[in-house]
Chains A and B, each alone.
Chain A
Amino acid sequence: MSDIETLEVVEIDESTLTDEDRPWKVIVWNDPINLMVYVTFVLQKLFGYSKEKATKMMMDVHEKGRAVVASGTRTEAERDVKRLHTHGLWATMEHDE
């Protein structure tokens, strides 16, 4: 998604990573109750995403059933999941593959 093309790709030995280091994905799942405008608003508010980006994520949730909305350490992901739960969104977290 980034325009920056000069990022160096670093090979990481996955076996040495602990749960804390390994990236966790925060996922929002489709649900029939939450309003689309509400989901977009929450993503904008919590993550500072533009309306365009948040709307695209919301449409992915709506049409594909889920979207990754953030990623980070386990602690960061858990914090984000809780913020989403506070807003009534159906969010879970899982390991990055």
Chain B
Amino acid sequence: MVDRQRDGTYAITFPDHIRQLLVGLSRQLDGALDTDDDPSLARLFPTAYAHDAERDAGYQVFARGELIEHRREAIALLAETAERGTLDEDELTAWMHVVNDVRLVLGTVLDVGEDTDMVDPEHPQADLHDLYHILGAVLYEIVNGLSEGLPDDDQLDDEMSIDLGDD
């Protein structure tokens, strides 16, 4: 449903109801970003200094605003491009951020664990669990698409080897 094309853009074939779902959820996320101390948003603003509360407070002062701003930009770009059949890398990356952010909130609300799979349809939060899994599938497609745009391993030199060229 996400295919990288020769010109570096991405063909997007998600059905309309998925696109509408993403726009609706992104609006809810946008509204929620202004609420302070909402435990369901904890994963969007993680601790940086695990053993130093004072330094972490300093980090949160500048990082929180930037993280909110970055998320709002992604939400705006998703809303702008939600109906498009072709996205460039920045636009698709914005979709990825929004889908992942909503999943983080939803996963926190549902308190998912490593082995959380499909729940019983009678489960009181069955709809939210379905939504969580749908977003996982959408994210998987987006990430696989974007991964096609990354350099191949043989073009990278992780081991810091130096290419001396031909002898």
A interface list, Cβ under 8 A from B? 1-4, 31-35, 37-38, 41, 44-45, 48-53, 78, 81-82, 85-88, 90-94
Contacts and interface: CB of A to CB of B under 8 A. Distances in A.
A95 to B, nearest CB: 9
A92 B158 contact: no
B66 A90 contact: no
The 6 residue pairs across chains A and B that have the minimum distance between CB atoms: A33-B107, A50-B153, A92-B50, A50-B156, A32-B114, A81-B48
B61 interface: no
Interface of B: 43-51, 59, 63, 66-67, 70, 97, 100-101, 103-104, 107-108, 112-114, 116, 136, 139-140, 143-144, 146-147, 150, 153, 156, 158-161
Contacts of A85: 45-46, 48, 63, 67
Given A32-B112, A37-B140, A41-B146, A87 B104 contact: no
A52 B153 contact: yes
A51 B148 CA distance: 11
Contact of B161 (A3, A90, A94): A3
A87 B158 contact: no
19 contacts: A33-B43, A34-B104, A35-B136, A35-B139, A37-B140, A37-B144, A38-B139, A45-B150, A49-B156, A51-B150, A52-B158, A53-B158, A78-B48, A85-B63, A86-B97, A87-B100, A88-B44, A91-B46, A94-B51
Q: Which applies to chain B's interface (DSSP): helix, strand, loop or mixed? A: helix
A88 B101 contact: yes
Given A33-B108, A78-B59, A87 B146 contact: no
Contacts of B139: 35, 38
A78 B112 CA distance: 28
